[in-house]
Structure 1
Amino acid sequence: NILKPIFLGRGLDVPMVVIFMGAIGGLLLSGIIGLFIGAVVLTLGYKLFLAWLEVDQPTHEDKADKL
């Protein structure tokens, strides 16, 4: 519960494990700076992935209307 407010603020609803994995991965790759950047980059990727999943897929009715 300490890492989330430090890295990203309290307004995001991102699982703590995503922030932790980003922080550890960034630390291993780039040291102290990577600790902060890794959590932000992985959180951004997580949010973009969720937004991509929410895009409406065309249904069979939509395809029939175009024909």
Structure 2
Amino acid sequence: MPAVEEPRVAVWWVDPGEMNTAMPADAVGAEDAAAAPGPETVVPTLRRLIEERPAIGRVSHP
């Protein structure tokens, strides 16, 4: 959503959810962390947000 003071500035809030990375593996164990998707499934959607710059709304990754 554009800022009133700086209309060219946009801010997006991103919550990719649980991902299979080293941090959750250290916290809950590698086996439990492996049930979550890896970053490679979320990164394409984040890149799409950066490239398309949607005005507002919810975006889901496939």
Do the two structures share a fold, i.e. TM-score over 0.5? no
Q: What TM-score results when the alignment is normalised by the length of structure 1? A: 0.34
More helix by share: 1
Q: What TM-score results when the alignment is normalised by the length of structure 2? A: 0.35
